[in-house]
Amino acid sequence: MADMVPKPPSQPISAAPTASAPDNGVPSNPISGNILIIGAAGYIGKFVAEASLAAGRTTYKLCRTGSSSPSKAAAVQRLQESGAIVLHGSLDHVELIINLLKQYRIEIVISAVGGDAILDQLPLIDAINAAGSIKRFLPSEFGHDIDKANPIEPALTLYNQKRKIRRAIEAAGIPYTYICCNSIAGWPYFDQIHPSEIPPPTDCFEIYGDGNVKAYFVAGEDIGKFTIKAADDVRTLNKVLHFRPQNNFVTLNEFACMWEKKIGKVVPRKFISEDCLVRLAKENRIPSSIVAALTHDIFINGCQFAFEIDGPQDTEVGRLYPDSPLIPLSHCLDAYLSNGVGRAASI
C-alpha cells in the first residue's frame, strides 16, 4: 500500500555532527535531531532541504505517493542523490505521521507547503502533539509577519489560514519558530510569475505605485541557510524570526536602476497603479489575484517595514548571526547574468 510506513534505511542512521558555536559566540544546541521537511520539492522547500543536507543534518522528506509533477519528481530525485531520505505518506493520515515521527526519531519538523495546502497542516499539528517528541516545528510561513500585515482580499483569507495554524500550534504548546523572510530576491512580477522562473525584465519594468516604497529582498539560499540555523537555536524558540537585510532594503526604482547597470542599458518603466492592483485582486482569480493583493500590500502599504520588531517574541537574522551576512541583492542579480541574461556593463 502506498501509505504504509516505510522500512528504515538499510544503512544505520549515524548521529549528525556536533554544531560549532554560532557566529556571535553564543552557545547553541548541538546538531543531533533528525529533520523532516514537508514540501521539500517546492521552491522554498528545496532551499531548506539543501541547507539541511549541507549542514550535515539527517534529512527526511515527506512525499505523497504518485502526486508529484515531473519537475517535482526530478527535485526529489536530486535531493535523494544528495542524501535526503524520502518517506511516503499524507498529512491527513495522522496515525501514519505519528508513526513516522517516532520511527525515524524526528525532532524538528519544517513545513514549506504551498498556499492551497496551508490548512493541511492542522492534522500535522495533531500528529506532532500526539508524538510528543518534536523539539521544534517551523510551519509554512516564509513571507510576511501575518499577525502584523493585513492585505486586501483574497490574500487576507490566506493570511487568516496561516494565523489559524499559528494559533493551533500555540494552543497545543508545540515549540515553534516562525520564519518571516519577506520577498524573494528576484523581480516581483505581480502576475503570479515566480522570480525563480525568469530574470528581471530587459524590455520594460512594471513598477507598482510610484516605485518608492521599500521592501526587503532575500536570496533563496539565505532563506534555507538561516532557517536551518534557527531550527534548534535556543534564541529562536517560540519566536518570530525576521529577515531585514539593510543592504537589500530597496525601492523598485532603486532595484530597476541596479539591474540597468548590470545589463548596460536603460529600460522603460510602466507604472501599475494602486487601483489596477486592487481591481486585479477583486477579480478573485486564484492564485493571480492573491499575488496582486500581496503586491499591493508590499509596494503600496509598505507592509514589510510598517512595524517594529523589538517585541519579546521578535528577533532578527542579522542580530543573531552578525558574522554571516546575507547575500547582497546585487550578487543575486549577477546570477541571472551568469545564465546569459543581458550583459554585465555599466551605463
Closest CA to 265 of 201, 211, 333, 328: 201
Measured distance CA(230)–CA(252) in Å, rounded: 30
Query: Phi and psi (nearest 5°) for 180?
Result: -115, 90
Counting Cβ atoms within 10 Å, is residue 25 exposed (0-12), middle (13-18) or buried (19+)?
A: exposed
**Active-site position among 72, 162, 225, 262:** 162
For the sheet with 136-138, list strands across it. Answer: 85-88, 59-63, 34-38, 106-111, 136-138
- Provide CB contacts within 8 A for 9, sequence distance 6+: 85
Residue with cell 518534536: 134
Q: Judge whether 89 and 97 are in contact, CB under 8 Å.
A: yes
**Rg of the Cα trace of the chain?**
20
Specify the amino acid at residue 30.
P
Q: Judge whether 305 and 214 are in contact, CB under 8 Å.
A: yes
274-299 CB burial, b ≥16 within 10 A, e <16: eeebeebbeeeeeebbbbbbbbbbbb
Question: What sections of the chain are H helices per DSSP?
Answer: 43-54, 70-81, 94-103, 121-131, 155-172, 220-230, 252-263, 274-282, 288-299, 317-320, 329-338
DSSP state at residue 176: B
**How many helices and strands (H and E) does the chain possess?**
11, 13
Active site residue 225: no
Specify the amino acid at residue 98.
I
Residues involved in catalysis: 162
